[in-house]
Structure 1
Amino acid sequence: MRNYMKIGVPKEIKDQEFRVGLSPNSVRALCDKGHQVSVETKAGIGSGFTDQEYEQAGAKIVSSAAQAWEQELVVKVKEPLSQEYPYLNTAKILFTYLHLAADKDLTKALLSSQITAIAYETVELSDRRLPLLTPMSIIAGRLSVQFGARYLEKQQGGRGVLLGGIPGVFAGRVVILGGGVVGTEAARIAVGMGAQVQIFDISVERLAYLETLFGSRVELLYSNVSSIETAVPNADLLIGAVLVTGKRAPTLVSRELVSKMRPGSVIVDVAVDQGGCIETLRTTSHSSPTYVEEGVVHFGVPNMPGAVPWTATQALNNSTLPYVLKLANDGLDALEKDASLAKGVNVKDGVLVHPAVQEVFQDLIG
């Protein structure tokens, strides 16, 4: 095997997705190792990176998505959309967020292409941490409250509640389902705004850890049907922050329960890219982010960090670059050398290989 890799960085085409797979600094690190990087023109503009900056870092600017996709290793941010499916037959390795459990059509397209598809969200360390999901989870968690506060404004269709309240008036109530990275960061912002905050989780150990972070400023509750049924109707802002690695999120809030919330309350479900944990939640976009169902404002944008691309691209690259370098240096042999990276493989040689995704799509195992 030759000692360099041809790497492609296409421009993201998801609605208002301004992040980019590699920053100029990451490109320079790859080029310094002798690798060749082709970046689609204007791929980095949304994140504040010009074609000239990429060229100065050593990249070749190409004029079309096809040229970026025909490289051996393609590095993206979001999953390929249907118009990108034909390109899957030209690349050998795809490294990006995939969230296959919620997208059977993409799963089938990857299987038929014979590409090796490695998902950021399933790269897993020995201690079960998800290093490539964490930076975007931090951002999404913080944004969930930022967006929620905005859509609680009357002009945005909300109840007209100020989350922090003022002296003499109750603060808004934020209910967070899930005490992982997203839930923790959502609570951090909500507490900072002065809201009343409840976090629900099924791990007593996690709840104990959260107590060390928040003390009495957050009400920490064990998650069960009864406690959720009591809390949700009183929420001004309900945040879904549930993650089951590689699988669809479980439905924790039924339509009936949503109907008991006060008109103009807001739901933000960060788990939407894994199917969502609230029955009435469906995928929206940055162009059309909300809709009203059962009198409640729903926000279901799956690429929330795309709203802050300058921050998000750099945060993502800080975590992904070491793995991109391993793939560039060693090709698929990197999967033998790095067990964490190997766990990121969802599809390889036309076979669905990730156990959690296999459980969702048993009919595609053959």
Structure 2
Amino acid sequence: MVIGVPKEIKNNENRVALTPAGVTELRKYGHTVYVQVNAGVSSGFEDAEYIASGAQMLPTIEEVYGIAEMIMKVKEPIASEYNLIKENQLLFTYFHFASSEELTNAMLERGAVCLAYETVERPDRSLPLLVPMSEVAGRMAVQEGAKYLEKPLKGRGILLGGVPGVKPANVLVLGGGIVGTQAAKMAAGLGAHVTIMDVSLPRLRYLSDIMPPNVDTMMSNEYNIRAMVKECDLIIGAVLIPGAKAPHLVTRDMLKLMRSGTVLVDVAVDQGGCIETCHPTTHEDPTFIIDDVVHYCVANMPGAVPYTSTVALTNATLPYALQLANKGWQQACRDNMDLQLGLNVVEGKVVYAGVAEAFGLPLTDVNSVLTAESALA
């Protein structure tokens, strides 16, 4: 198969979809890999490393899209890329369709095969291609939250871990999944007093067992959230419903209950956000303030630590990319239910329930597209 790796062009997105090591593995199976010039530089990978691994370099993004059967990316295509996408072309990347009707409609119109990293799902309901970036984002949420608690950045002026004789900050983590667990560990490690909320009592029991003594667990419901936001300095939204829009757990009126300089970090913003007042921001302009509450809502947080993120992402995606390249997307998805669940939009049809529900679109049975003839079958 011919695989293309374009340079990411979303604002301050420094990651790349494939490392030179990943190129080497794909080449071992006879696949051709085209990488756009300078695609990996911001992640610490020079063009010479890709060439040494067997990649062929192309100067423009147009040439990469034009020649590839499968495009491997990190973030969803943006408007300037829409017209570059070919009918039946396989796109393997993060999409988060449920948070963008424009993107969904564009991919339907282009007739692409859109396999989303974030909905590839194992039988145990884990999300193997979301886990590495969730780990990065969860840890970064605390790092960024601690920074924006500083007074020059309009925060409360609180050191997360305090010092002897001064109480540490109170941190509330909404969601006990991968992001929430990593965020709680980081905040606790810095000495903060942490409360982690989830709707699953078994999950809370597990977290209670593994977390250090400065982490409390609490059932997530509106009553408890309203009580907690009054006394917390940093609130981290870490809620995920795979492939669907995140619910608003922190509502607009709750901001009035918070102290001036409270910091909100919404890691779920690329799925619509679990904090009602959040909207996507960029690393270039990461925060905004409403009711004296600082909102940090960068949609591609791991892009700020691109070397770590790129290596972690390739470690997770490469086994699936090899299956897609070796078998073609249809056979690979027939053979592997993990991959089948990653299909969201296929050749003008929505095949993932969460996306169809988000925009009131008709849902096509995924089996019908797996048995139909395709140019890239």
Cross-structure match for 1:347: 345
| Separation in 2, partners of 1:6, 1:154 | 51
Aligned residues: 362
- Show the counterpart of 2:357: 359
Q: Does 1:145 align with 2:134?
A: no
Of the three residues 229, 234, 237, the one matched with 1:232 is 229
Pairing 1:65-214 to 2, within 5 Å after superposition = 65-70=61-66, 71-89=68-86, 92-214=89-211
| 2:173–2:196 CA contact under 8 A, matched in 1 | yes
% identical aligned pairs: 50
The whole-number CA distance in structure 1 between the counterparts of 2:216 and 2:247 is 23
CA–CA distance in structure 2, aligned partners of residues 358 and 116 of structure 1: 16
Please list every run of at least 4 consecutive aligned residues from structure 1 whose deviation after the TM superposition is greater than 4 angstroms. Answer: none
The one-letter amino acid paired with 1:359 is E
CA distance in 2, matches of 1:255, 1:64: 44
Residue 46 of structure 1 pairs with residue 58 of structure 2: no
Q: Distance in 1 between matches of 2:230 and 2:167?
A: 16
In structure 1, what is the Cα distance between the partners aligned to 2:144 and 2:212? Answer: 25
Displacement after TM superposition at 1:217 (Å) = 2.3
Q: How far does the alpha carbon of each residue in 1:235-290 deviate from its partner, in whole angstroms, 9 at most, with x for none?
A: 10000000001110000111111121111110000000000011111111000000
How far off its partner does 1:91 sit? 6.3
Q: CA deviation at 1:363?
A: 3.4
5+ long unaligned stretches in structure 1: none
- Check the 8 A contact 2:88/2:347 in 1, yes or no: no
Contact 1:8 1:73 in 2 (8 A): yes
Q: Report how far residue 216 of structure 1 moved.
A: 3.1
Instruction: Point out where structure 2 has 5 or more consecutive residues left out of the alignment.
Output: 365-377
Question: Is the 8 Å Cα contact of residues 345 and 351 (structure 2) preserved in structure 1?
Answer: yes
Q: Do the aligned partners of 1:6 and 1:72 also contact (CA within 8 Å) in 2?
A: yes
SS at match of 1:363: coil
- For 1:217 and 1:170, the matched residues in 2 are separated by 12
1:259 touches 1:295 (CA, 8 Å); kept in 2? Answer: no
Does 1:59 pair with 2:70? no
Q: Distance in 2 between matches of 1:157 and 1:217?
A: 26
TM-score, length basis structure 1: 0.97
| 1:264 aligned residue (261, 264, 271) | 261
Q: Distance in 1 between matches of 2:258 and 2:12?
A: 30
Instruction: Identify the match of residue 27 of structure 1 among 23, 27, 30.
Output: 23
Report the Cα offset of residue 68 of structure 1: 1.1
What's the counterpart of residue 288 of structure 1?
285
Match of 1:337 in 2: 335
Deviations 1:2-28 (A, max 9, x none): xxx000000000111010011000001
Q: Which secondary structure state, in structure 1, belongs to the residue aligned with residue 207 of structure 2?
A: helix
**Structure-2 separation of matches of 1:181 and 1:36:** 35
In 1: Cα distance, 2:345 partner to 2:41 partner: 31
Q: Secondary structure at the match of 1:89?
A: coil
The amino acid across from 1:294 in the alignment is: D
Q: Which among 224, 244, 247 is matched to residue 244 of structure 2? A: 247
| Structure 2 residue aligned with 1:312 | 309
- Report SS of the residue matched to 1:163: coil
| Equivalent position amino acid for 1:341 in 2 | L
- Offset of residue 112 of structure 1: 1.1
Query: Partner residue of 2:9?
Result: 13
Letter aligned with residue 49 of structure 1? F
Distance 1:215 1:305 in 2: 26
Cα RMSD (Å) of the superposition? 1.0
Preserved CA contact (<8 Å) 1:73 1:91: no
